[in-house]
Amino acid sequence: MVRYTIRRILLIIPTFIGASALIFFAGFALPGDPVSAFGGERALPEATRNALIERYRLDQPVFDQYLGYMGDVLTGDFGESVLRRRSINDIFAETFPNTLRLAALAVVFELVIGLLAGIVAALRKGKFLDSLVLVSTIIAISIPVFVLGFSLQYIVGVQWQILPVAGLQEGFRSLILPAFVLGTLSLAYVARLTRTSLAETLREDYVRTAQAKGLRHSRVIGRHALRNALIPVITFIGIDLGALMGGAIVTETIFNINGVGFNLFRAIGTRDNAIVVGFTLIAVMIYLTMSLIVDLLYAALDPRIRYE
């Protein structure tokens, strides 16, 4: 287990270097440069242009820029945006907590609603509740996020006025709608995954064994079936949390939440390379860490993995 963990951690290093190089050079392969992007429709005066190019090391060969950048990254400095003249660290520090809260609540929705729906559907397979879950998850999966977001904003926020339409001014209440919208897709997926996995597990021989042992139905389901059925579900949710922490472009934009995804998206649009590279790099790190945690969690949950 310890060796497995160490191996997995060591594996992160080359992955990170590879990803960073890819992201960095991809940023440079695109036409144009951040200084021109800053100038907009009016070309910048030459001297201003040069001053900016020098300040942001854009006159160095790309590879030197990469080395210099990675040197800074190792000291924890992810650079500065040419277009906004702000440190990437500051922007990230400001946006990540919002994204994290949003992701966390979305995952709570996935866990609570998704799991319950999936369990109910599996236990009532073929019955009304099962069909209800199947149909509503199909709907949830096929509605585009922005349509769902707009509709909920209009109905819950404008018509009923029971939750804020956008922003984070009202704390937890502000998070409910966006987190729900953000979690819907995964929630539906969790419900279906739980349903399939549990239904499959219920057919397993060891569930019959548990029944034959004279255990209470709830124990057969909860202790024996679910404990196995939820392994892929928990794994999925872990990976999903990693992905959600990378930011949610559409949800954050619609609900006006100053999050990682929205900032990254805007930076791509305005060719703000420093934000694109910095944010992507951090998101990759978070994702790698999350998948490491998920792997370890998986090993903890499934003894068959643990000893291999």
Partner 1 sequence: MQSTTRGWLRWFAIFAVLALVLVACGDGGAEEETTTTTEAAAGETTTTTAAAEEETTTTTEAPAAGGGQFSTAISEPPFIDPNLVQDSEGFEVARLMFDGLTLYDPAGGAVVPGVAESWESNDDKTVWTFNLRDDSFFTNGDPVTAEAFVYGISRTADPDTGSRVSYHVGPGYADVLGFEEVNGGEGTGVSGDELLEGLKAVDDYTLEVTLARSNALLPKIVAHPAFSPIPQAVFEADPAGWNEMPIGNGPYKMQGPWEHDVAIFLDRNEDYYGAAGVADVIEFRIYADLATEYRDVQAGNLDVGRIPTEELANAPAEFGDRYLLISSGSFGYIGLPNTVAPYDNVKLRQALSLAIDREAITERILIGTSPATGFVPPVATGAVMDACPYCTYDPDLAVQLYEESGGVPNDELVMRFNAGSGHEDWVEAVTTGWSQVLGVTATFEPLEWAAYLDFLFEVGPDGPYRLGWQWDYPSAYNFLAPLYESTSGDNYSGYVNADFDALMEQAITSLSEEEALPFLAEAQAIIGEEIPVIPMTFGTERRVWTENVSNVQLNNFGFGLWENVVVNG
Partner 2 sequence: MAGTVSTIDPRNVHPEPGEPLLDVEDVSVEFHTDAGVVKAVTDLSFNLAAGETLAIIGESGSGKSVTAQAIMGIVPSPPGKIPKGSIRYRDRDLMEVPDKEKRFIRGQEIAMIFQDPLTSLNPVYSVGWQIGEMFRIHRGASRAEAREKAIELMERVRIPEARRRVGDYPHQFSGGMRQRVMIAMALALEPKILIADEPSTALDVTVQAQIMELLDALQQETNMGLILITHDLGVVASVADVVLLMYAGRVVESNEAYPFYEKPAHPYAHGLMNSVAKLSGSEKRLEPIVGSPPSLLRVPSGCAFHPRCPYALDPCWEEIPHLREIDGYSGVVACHFAEEIRG
Interface residues with partner 2 (CB under 8 A) are 125-126, 203-206, 208-216, 219, 224, 227-228, 231, 301-304, 307
Q: Are 305 and 298 in contact (CB under 8 A)?
A: yes
Asked whether position 170 contacts partner 1 by CB under 8 A, the answer is yes
Asked whether position 111 contacts partner 1 by CB under 8 A, the answer is yes
Asked whether position 190 contacts partner 1 by CB under 8 A, the answer is no
Looking at the Cβ atoms of 128 and 307, the one nearer to partner 2 is: 307
Binds 104: which of partner 1, partner 2, none (CB < 5-8 Å by kind): partner 1
- Report in angstroms how near the CB of residue 197 gets to partner 1 at its nearest: 14
Looking at the Cβ atoms of 18 and 45, the one nearer to partner 1 is: 45
Measured between alpha carbons, how far is residue 43 from residues 38, 39, 96 in Å? 9, 5, 34
C-alpha triplet 53, 55, 61: angle, nearest 5°? 55
Asked whether position 20 contacts partner 1 by CB under 8 A, the answer is no
Q: Are 178 and 255 in contact (CB under 8 A)?
A: yes
- Report in angstroms how near the CB of residue 202 gets to partner 2 at its nearest: 8
Q: Are 219 and 209 in contact (CB under 8 A)?
A: no
Looking at the Cβ atoms of 86 and 208, the one nearer to partner 2 is: 208
Asked whether position 42 contacts partner 1 by CB under 8 A, the answer is yes
Binds 86: which of partner 2, partner 1, none (CB < 5-8 Å by kind): partner 1
Looking at the Cβ atoms of 85 and 306, the one nearer to partner 2 is: 306
Place of tokens 């490491």: 292
How many residues comprise the chain? 308
Helix (H, G, I), strand (E, B) or coil at 308: coil
Strand partners, 87: 80
Asked whether position 71 contacts partner 1 by CB under 8 A, the answer is no
Distance CA 304, CA 298 (A): 10
Distance CA 247, CA 260 (A): 5
Binds 59: which of partner 1, partner 2, none (CB < 5-8 Å by kind): none
Binds 12: which of partner 2, partner 1, none (CB < 5-8 Å by kind): none
Cβ neighbors of 290 (< 8 A, separation 6 or more) are: 238, 239, 241, 242, 245
Asked whether position 177 contacts partner 1 by CB under 8 A, the answer is no
* Residues contacting partner 1: total by CB under 8 A: 75
Distance CA 308, CA 303 (A): 9
Asked whether position 52 contacts partner 1 by CB under 8 A, the answer is yes
Looking at the Cβ atoms of 173 and 227, the one nearer to partner 2 is: 227
Residue 43: DSSP 8-state: P
Q: Pick one of 2, 10, 31, 304: the residue that binds partner 1 (CB under 8 A).
A: 31
Q: Are 276 and 213 in contact (CB under 8 A)?
A: no
Q: Pick one of 68, 71, 144, 269: the residue that binds partner 1 (CB under 8 A).
A: 269
C-alpha triplet 100, 104, 109: angle, nearest 5°? 150
Binds 171: which of partner 2, partner 1, none (CB < 5-8 Å by kind): partner 1
